[in-house]
C-alpha cells in the first residue's frame, strides 16, 4: 500500500482562524522530541507557563495549555468549575456564545442567557445589572466573537463580578495575542485562548489561565485517579463535600498537578505542539505586546480603507469591531460562495463565510498573527476586486489598493 508524499498547496489564509503559521514555528515543530518527564522537557513546560503569564498580563500561578483545540480549553475551564445546578449567566452576541451555553448545559448548569442583536455587543452595565439580579456562580462570556466580528468590552464586568462573588470566565480564543487581554486588571478569573488565531501556531492547544478563586473551587472537587493516587489523596477525597469533576481529561485539578511540582502523570504532553507554542510565544514576546497590538490595528486600517474604497460596506457596529476580523456585506446579486471559491482556486486565498443567520450575508476576512501583514492585505484586496468584477458586481475599480497603500505610507 503506497500513498504519496504530503503535498499541499501554499495558501494565503485570511480567515478568522486557522491562520498562517509563522515559519519559525513550523521549523520548531520539526525538532526531535524528548520524553515528557525529561528535565529538558519540564524546563520547557515551565518556560511556556512563564511566557503565558506575560501574554495574559497576569500574576496567576496557573497558566498552561490544555491538549486539544480551543474548545477543549473552554470545556476544561467550565466543567472544572460547574457543578450540576450551578447558575451560570451567558451573555450571547454570536455563535460562540451559544457554544458556552451548550457546554454549561451539558454539565448540568442552570443557564441564564442575555442576548443582543448580532453585529453589536452589550453595554457592560446591562451585564452587571443581570449579575446583580440573578446572582450566578459564574458569568461566562466571549471576548472576540469571530462569527460577527464584534468585541465585547470587558474592563468593568470583572470588578463587578468580584464584588458580587461571581466568577468571570472569558473565551478570548480570537483576541489573545492580537489585542489587549488584561486578565488581572480586568479581574478575569478564568480565561481561555487559542493557538491558531493571533498566536499563529497550529490548532491543537488551548492555553488557559485561572486565579486562586477558580483554584479553590477546583481543589474542593479534586480527585486523583486510581492507579496513581496516594493514601493521602484518598483520605482527602473522602472528606470532600463537592461533586467530582465529570471529565478525567479536562479535570483541571489533575492538570495542575501535572504542570505543577508534583508532576503527576496524567496525559502525555503533546510535545511538538508545545514546541510550537513556545516558539509562537517567544516570537510574540520578542515583538512585544504593544507593538503586536498596534500592528493588528495598522493592517486593519489598511484593509478597511481598501474595502470601503472599493465601495463595499462593512457589517456590524464599528465601535465594537474586532480588530482582527473584518466582516464585509455581500453586495446584492453576488453569489457569496462563488466568490470565495474563485478566490481560493484562482488566487490561493482563503476568506471565510459565517454561521447561522449570517451565512451567505457576509464574508469574514481575518488579519491575525502572521497572516496580518502588508503583502497579504494588499493581495486579498486586489484579488477581491478582480473576483467581484468577474462576478459582475458594481465596484469602484483601481481604488482599493491605492487606499491601502495610502495607509501604509502614513507615519505610524
Which residues, 268 to 287, sit near a copy of itself by CB under 8 A?
268-273, 275-276, 278-279, 281-282, 285-286
Smallest distance from a copy of itself to CB 202, Å: 4
The cell for 44 is 520547557
Is residue 138 close enough to count as binding a copy of itself by CB under 8 A? no
Contact predicate 342/363, CB 8 Å: no
Cα separations in angstroms, 242 against 82, 212, 213, 235, 239: 11, 17, 16, 14, 9
| The one segment of 209-217, 266-274, 311-319, 320-328 that binds a copy of itself by CB under 8 A | 266-274
Q: Of 249, 258, 347, 379, which lies in the binding site for a copy of itself, with binding defined by CB under 8 A?
A: 249
Task: Confirm or deny that 340 is annotated as ligand binding.
Answer: no
Tell me: does residue 2 bind a copy of itself (CB under 8 A).
Answer: yes
Interface pick for a copy of itself out of 91, 204, 207, 316 (rule CB under 8 A): 204
Q: Which of residues 86-125 bind a copy of itself (CB under 8 A)?
A: 94-99, 101-103, 106-107
Is position 238 an interface residue for a copy of itself (rule: CB under 8 A)? no
Q: CA-CA distance, 142 to 135, in Å (whole number)?
A: 19
Phi-psi category of residue 273: left, alpha or beta, with phi > 0 → left and psi -120 to 50 → alpha: alpha
Contact range with a copy of itself by CB under 8 A, out of 242-250, 295-303, 318-326, 381-389: 242-250
Shortest distance, CB of residue 339 to a copy of itself, whole angstroms?
15
Q: Residue written as cell 488584561?
A: 182
Q: Which is nearer to a copy of itself, 135 or 230 (CB)?
A: 230
Find the part of the chain contacting a copy of itself (CB under 8 A) among 11-19, 291-299, 326-334, 390-398.
Answer: 11-19
Distance from the Cα of residue 164 to its chain's centroid: 27
Least CB distance from residue 223 to a copy of itself, whole Å? Answer: 8
Q: Is 340 left (phi over 0), alpha (psi -120 to 50) or beta?
A: alpha
Would you say 320 and 152 are in contact if contact means Cβ atoms under 8 Å apart?
yes
**How far apart are alpha carbons 324 and 364 in whole angstroms?**
10
Instruction: Name the phi and psi angles at 112, rounded to 5.
Output: -110, 135
Among 288, 337, 394, 397, binds a copy of itself (CB under 8 A): 288
Q: How far is the CB of 58 from a copy of itself (least distance, A)?
A: 15
All three cell numbers of 218? 477546583
Collect all residues with Cβ–Cβ distance below 8 Å to 71 and sequence separation of at least 6.
Answer: 99, 103, 206
- Sole binder of a copy of itself in the list 52, 62, 64, 72 (CB under 8 A): 72
Within residues 36-55, the interface with a copy of itself by CB under 8 A covers 36, 38, 40-41, 44, 47, 51, 54
Binding residues for substrate: 364
Amino acid at each position: 500500500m503506497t500513498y504519496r508524499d504530503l503535498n499541499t498547496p501554499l495558501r494565503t489564509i485570511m480567515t478568522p482562524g486557522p491562520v498562517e503559521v509563522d515559519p519559525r514555528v513550523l521549523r520548531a515543530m520539526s525538532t526531535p522530541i524528548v520524553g515528557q518527564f525529561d528535565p529538558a522537557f519540564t524546563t520547557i513546560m515551565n518556560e511556556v507557563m512563564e511566557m503565558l503569564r506575560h501574554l495574559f498580563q497576569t500574576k496567576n500561578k496557573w497558566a498552561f495549555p490544555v491538549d486539544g483545540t480551543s474548545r477543549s480549553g473552554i470545556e476544561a475551564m467550565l466543567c472544572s468549575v460547574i457543578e450540576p445546578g450551578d447558575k451560570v449567566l451567558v451573555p450571547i452576541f454570536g455563535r460562540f456564545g451559544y457554544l458556552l451555553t451548550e457546554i454549561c448545559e451539558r454539565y448540568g448548569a442552570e443557564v441564564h442567557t442575555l442576548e443582543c442583536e448580532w453585529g453589536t455587543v452589550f453595554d457592560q452595565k446591562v451585564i452587571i445589572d443581570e449579575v446583580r439580579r440573578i446572582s450566578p456562580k459564574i458569568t461566562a462570556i466571549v471576548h472576540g466573537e469571530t462569527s460577527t466580528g464584534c468585541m465585547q468590552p470587558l474592563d468593568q464586568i470583572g470588578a463587578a463580578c468580584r464584588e458580587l462573588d461571581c466568577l468571570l470566565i472569558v473565551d478570548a480564543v480570537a483576541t489573545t495575542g492580537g489585542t489587549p487581554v488584561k486578565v488581572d486588571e480586568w479581574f478575569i478569573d478564568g480565561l481561555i485562548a487559542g493557538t491558531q488565531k493571533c498566536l499563529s501556531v497550529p490548532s491543537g492547544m488551548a492555553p488557559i489561565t485561572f486565579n486562586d478563586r477558580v483554584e479553590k473551587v477546583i481543589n474542593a472537587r479534586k480527585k486523583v485517579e486510581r492507579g496513581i493516587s496516594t493514601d493521602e489523596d484518598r483520605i482527602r477525597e473522602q472528606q470532600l463535600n463537592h461533586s467530582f469533576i465529570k471529565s478525567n481529561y479536562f479535570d483541571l485539578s489533575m492538570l495542575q498537578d501535572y504542570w505543577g511540582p508534583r508532576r503527576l502523570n496524567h496525559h502525555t504532553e503533546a510535545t511538538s505542539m508545545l514546541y510550537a507554542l513556545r516558539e509562537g510565544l517567544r516570537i510574540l514576546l520578542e515583538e512585544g505586546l504593544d507593538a503586536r497590538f498596534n500592528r493588528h490595528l495598522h493592517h486593519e486600517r489598511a484593509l478597511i480603507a481598501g474595502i470601503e474604497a472599493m465601495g463595499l460596506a462593512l457589517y456590524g457596529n464599528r465601535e465594537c469591531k474586532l480588530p482582527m476580523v473584518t466582516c464585509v456585506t455581500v453586495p446584492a446579486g453576488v453569489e457569496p460562495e462563488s466568490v470565495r471559491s474563485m478566490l481560493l482556486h484562482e488566487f490561493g486565498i482563503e476568506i471565510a463565510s459565517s454561521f447561522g443567520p449570517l451565512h451567505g450575508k457576509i464574508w469574514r476576512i481575518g488579519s491575525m498573527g502572521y497572516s496580518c501583514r502588508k503583502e497579504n492585505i494588499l493581495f486579498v484586496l486586489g484579488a477581491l476586486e478582480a473576483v467581484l468584477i468577474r462576478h459582475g458586481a458594481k465596484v469602484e475599480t483601481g481604488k482599493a489598493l491605492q487606499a491601502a497603500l495610502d495607509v501604509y505610507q502614513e507615519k505610524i
